[in-house]
Structure 1
Amino acid sequence: MRKPLMRLTFRQLQVFEAVCEARSYSRAADIMALTQPAVSLQVRQLEEVVGAPLFNYVNRTLYLTEAGEALRQTGRDLFARLGSLDMQLSNLRGALHGQLRLGVESSAQYLAPHLFSQFRSSHPQVDLALTVGNHARVLRRLTENREDVALMSGVPSGTDLEFLPLLDNAIVAVARPGHALAGRRGLSLRDLTTYPLLVREVGSGTRQACEDYLKQKRAHFAEQLEIGAFEAQREAVRAGLGLALLPRQAIRSDLAAGSLVELDVAELPLRRSWCVVQVRGKPLSPVAQAFVDYLRGQRSLINALGIALEPAAGAGPGVRPAAD
C-alpha cells in the first residue's frame, strides 16, 4: 500500500460521502454541520492523499472522477465492515444491535414497516434505515452495497441475487367510483383498453410486469399516461384520469374506504411474489442475517399478516374477495 493512503481518516471519508450524496459542497456542509470551506479543505486533503482529482465540474454540476468512484466504493466497504464489527461485538455481549439497511420497492412500502415491526419486537436494539424507490433504483442500490437486503418483486433472472419469496402480490385493475366499468362483471382486459391506462415510470417493476402480461394477453391500450410515482398514480386514478394496474395490498385502505374500485376482470389478478433479496455470496451483517433468518422462520406469521392486510370482501363499491 502506498504510504500516503495511510493518512486517510474516517472523518474525511464521511465528508467525501456527504459531498457524493449531495452533489454539492454547500449541501454537504449542512449535512455534516460544517462550514463550506471546511468541507472543501477535507476534499482537497483527500485529493492530495489519493494523488488525483475526485470531482469534475461540468456545466456547474459535480461529477465523480474515476478515482472518486474508486474511493467512494472503498469508503462504503470500510463503513460496512465497521458496522458489521459493531454488530458482532454486540452479539458477543448477548444483544443484537445495529442498523438494518433495507431497500423497498415503492409499491411494497406499506408492507416493510409491518415486517420490521415484527422483527424488532424480538430485537429492540436494531434500528432501520429504509429507502423507498422504484424497482430499478432499489436493485441498483442493492448491487452497489448501499443496502443490506431489499424487498421487491420480479427479481431479474440471470443475476447474482438470492431471493426468498414472502407474500403473494396480486396486481388488480382499479378505477374511480362511478367509472363506466365499475360494478360490471366478467370484464376482459380488452374491455379496459378503450380507456387511458396510467402507468409508472420506466424502471418500475409493476410497470414492467404489467407490460409483459398485457402483451402476452394482446391487450393494447391506445392511450397511456406516465405517472412518475406510486402515490401520484393512485391519486390520478381517484381524479378520473384513467385506469391503473396496482398491487391490491398497496391500495387496501382505498378499496376499504371506497375511494378506489377494483374492477372484475377475468384475467386478473396478475400474481407475483414479494421477495426479500440479497446479493449472492455477499456476507450479510449480523443484523441483516438475523432479519433474513427471522423472515425465513416466520412464514406462517407473514402469511397471516398478508391476509390481515387484504381488504375485506365487500369493503367498498365494486370490491370483490381475493381470488384463491
Structure 2
Amino acid sequence: MKKAMQTLPKITLKQLAVFVSIYQTGSTSRASEELHLSQSAVSSALTELESRLQMPLFERVGRRLNQHPNAHPIYIQAQAILGQSLTLEHYHKHQAGQIHIGASTTIGNYVLPPLLAKLYKALPDASVNTYIANTQEVVAEVEQLNIDIALVEGMPRPTDMKAIEQREWRTDKLMIFAKRDSQWLVDIASYNDAGDCYELSIEQLARLPLLVRETGSGTRQIIDEQLLKHLPDADVIMAIQQSEAIKHMVSADIGLGCLSQYVIDPELAAGTLVQVNVAGIDLSRTWWLVWHKARHQSPIWQTFIDILTSE
C-alpha cells in the first residue's frame, strides 16, 4: 500500500506578515515589537512558513538572520497577498457602512428625510443611496437584491413571497381634499361646524372630477380598494405620477385630490387646501418594511431598523 502523504498546514496571513516584517527589519525581535507578538510566536510563525514552503527563507548565523536567495521572490508575493488582504478589509469596512434604501414616493419625499437625518446622526460616516419610485417598482428592486430595505405604502405583493420579508411599520391616512371655496363644492357641500372641512356624500363625490396617483403606487392601491369601489361611475379625470403635481392641480381648482396627510399638511395648516370628509369612507392604510431574506443585514442596516422601529 502507498503511504498517505502528510498534509501540511495552510499558509496563513499571520505567517506572511511575520515573514515580511522580519525581511524588512532584519530580526525576529524587531518584528515582534512591530507586530506586538512575542518573539517565540514570531519564530514559530517563520518556522511554520518555511516548513509549508519546504524551503529556507533565512540563514541563521548565531543570533543573526541573513536573507536566503529564496527570500526575495517570496517577499514580493507576500507583499502582494497582504496588500490584497488589506484592500479586501477596507472594502468590507466600506460595505459595512453602506446602505441602499428604497422608498415609495410619498414616504421618500415626505417621511424619509428626517429618518436619514437620524441615521447620519447615529453614523456620521454612513454612505446612503436611495431609490424612490412607486411601490411596485421599489418591491421589484428588493426582489432583484438591488435594495437593502424598502419602505412602501402599498401592500408589497412580491412575486416570490418566500424570498421576501415584510413587516407592518406605520399607519397613514389618505385624505380627499379640495381648494378652499372650490368651484366644484360651493353649491353642493357645506363646511363642518369648525369650518375646516367640507362634508360630502358618496353620491356627491361620484359626480366630481378626481385627480389620483398612477396604477402601481401604494396610494392608488388604497384609492382603488377603499374609495373607487364605492364610486363605480366616478369621474377620474387624470392619473398622475407625482403627488406634488396633484396638489398643485387641486390648488388650481382642476378637481379634487386624494393623497397622504403627510403631503398636504402644510397647505391644510395654511388654509389654502381643505379636507373633504365623505361619510362611510375610511382611507387609513398600513406602511410596510420590506427586505430580501438573502440580503446581508449589516450593522448600518440594523441601526436603520432600530430608528424605524423606535418611531
Give the TM-score range, shorter chain. 0.5 to 0.7
Instruction: Tell me the residue number matched to 2:276.
Output: 263
- Structure 1 runs of 4+ off > 6 angstroms? none
The two structures have a TM-score, normalised by structure 2, of: 0.61
Provide closer, same or farther for how the CA distance between residues 254 and 182 of structure 1 changes in structure 2, counting only shifts above 3 A.
farther
Equivalent residues of 2:207, 2:235 under 8 A apart: yes
Instruction: Tell me the residue number matched to 1:228.
Output: 241
Count of aligned residue pairs for this structure pair:
211
Instruction: Tell me the residue number matched to 2:39.
Output: none
Provide closer, same or farther for how the CA distance between residues 87 and 286 of structure 1 changes in structure 2, counting only shifts above 3 A.
farther
Instruction: Tell me the residue number matched to 2:100.
Output: 101
Provide closer, same or farther for how the CA distance between residues 128 and 135 of structure 1 changes in structure 2, counting only shifts above 3 A.
same
1:107-256 equivalences under 5 Å are: 107-108=106-107, 109-157=109-157, 159=161, 160-179=163-182, 180=185, 181=189, 183=191, 186-218=199-231, 220-256=233-269
How much does 1:190 deviate? 2.8
How much does 1:269 deviate? 4.3
**RMSD value over aligned CA atoms?**
2.7
In structure 1, distance between residues paired with 2:215 and 2:191 = 31
In structure 2, distance between residues paired with 1:122 and 1:144 = 28
Instruction: Tell me the residue number matched to 1:24.
Output: none
Asked if residue 293 in structure 1 is aligned to residue 306 in structure 2, the reply is yes
Provide closer, same or farther for how the CA distance between residues 174 and 165 of structure 1 changes in structure 2, counting only shifts above 3 A.
same
Which has the larger Rg?
2
Equivalent residues of 1:87, 1:286 under 8 A apart: no
How much does 1:268 deviate? 4.2
Provide closer, same or farther for how the CA distance between residues 200 and 215 of structure 1 changes in structure 2, counting only shifts above 3 A.
closer
Provide closer, same or farther for how the CA distance between residues 85 and 132 of structure 1 changes in structure 2, counting only shifts above 3 A.
farther
Q: Structure 2 counterpart of 1:254, which letter? A: E
The two structures have a TM-score, normalised by structure 1, of: 0.58
In structure 2, distance between residues paired with 1:166 and 1:87 = 32
How much does 1:150 deviate? 0.8
Q: Structure 2 counterpart of 1:194, which letter? A: R
How much does 1:208 deviate? 1.8
Equivalent residues of 1:171, 1:268 under 8 A apart: no
Q: Structure 2 counterpart of 1:127, which letter? A: S
Unpaired segments ≥5 residues, structure 2: 1-87, 193-197
Unpaired segments ≥5 residues, structure 1: 1-83, 91-95, 303-324
